Every structure is written in structure tokens, then in C-alpha cells.
Amino acid sequence: MGPFGHFAIGLAAKPSTPAVPLAVLLLATMALDLLFFAFALLHVGDATAWSHGLFMSILWSAAAGLIVLPIFRSYRVSAVVGLMVLSHWVLDFISHPIPFPSFSWRSWQWDFGHPLPPDLPIFFGSSPKVGLGLYNSMSAVEATALELGMFILGSVIYANYRFKNGNERNT
């Protein structure tokens, strides 16, 4: 799933943790992708396994929760931030693999090609790979609409929360 789908989860989670800046929640939802890019740049083994493998995603989620625990002094905040990191893997599990190999601005449609096999490792190396492949069964236009719809829904939840609280310090 792309950034808009992941950000939607962070926006929707804001009402559950008023003390946490929205930027922290949004960063947590993208942490696995940031780790992937860091590992890829550093040529660390299989960057996908280290960032998006189920086992490592659980460890990164726990690490994120432990990092924010002394900052916010709240087990609830710790759990929510950890869940934001793990939500990335869950959304990727539902949507991956992403089979849009080519893009044309003229027709605004990616080609399907052949459906791809699952690409999210459970552990490392030759461990089984998983992914439900939602994006194997829809066009990129439909996938974009889905993600934008999720983002709008998350934004509405966040805006409703902000409107009810009307308090600028809860951003």
C-alpha cells in the first residue's frame, strides 16, 4: 500500500492518543518503509526481510513502543505507536504484491501484467512469503481510489476529533 493508505491509519488513530503529535503517528505508520530505504541504501542483506518481514515488523513495532514509553510515560501511547508501526505490515499483507510494472500518464492506468506471487517474508532468506494480493485483482486507478478514499476517511475522523476538541495544542 502507498503512503496515503498508511497515513489514513495514523490520522484515524489520533483521537485515541491526544497527547501524541500527529507527526509521530504518521511517522510510525511509515517506519517500515523508512527502514527499507535505509537498509537498501546501506546494502544490508535483504532489505525487505529486515524491514517488511512479519517477524521483524513485530520487533520494530515493539521497539517503537519502547522508544516512546519513556517520552510519553504512557503504556497506552506506547501500544498505539507500536500498533501504528505494525499497521503498515497489515496493510501491506492485504495489498501486496503490487503488480503495476508500467505507468502511462496518457491513459492514467497501470497495466496488470501477470499476478505476482506473495512478496512479504515471514522471517529471513528462504522463509515463506505471504500477501493476499488485493492489488493483483484491481487496476492502479482503483487502487489509487481506494487509498485516497482511506485517506479521506482518516482525515474526516481526524477533523471531527479536532473540531470537537477545538484545541490547537492537541495537534
10-residue stretch averages of pLDDT, the chain, 171 residues long: 93 94 97 93 89 95 97 96 97 84 51 72 90 85 91 96 72 50
What pLDDT does residue 119 have? 87
Predicted local distance difference test score (pLDDT) of residue 151: 97
Residue for grid cell 517477524: 55
In this prediction the pTM is 0.86
DSSP state of 105: T
In this predicted structure, what is the pLDDT of residue 12?
97
User: Secondary structure of 54-100 in the HEC alphabet?
Assistant: HHHHHHHHHHHHHHHHHHHCCHHHHHHHHHHHHHHHHHHHHHCCCCC
Alpha-carbon distance values, 92 to 66, 96, 125, 128 (Å): 23, 5, 19, 16
What is the C-alpha to C-alpha distance for residues 52 and 92, in angstroms, rounded to an integer? 9
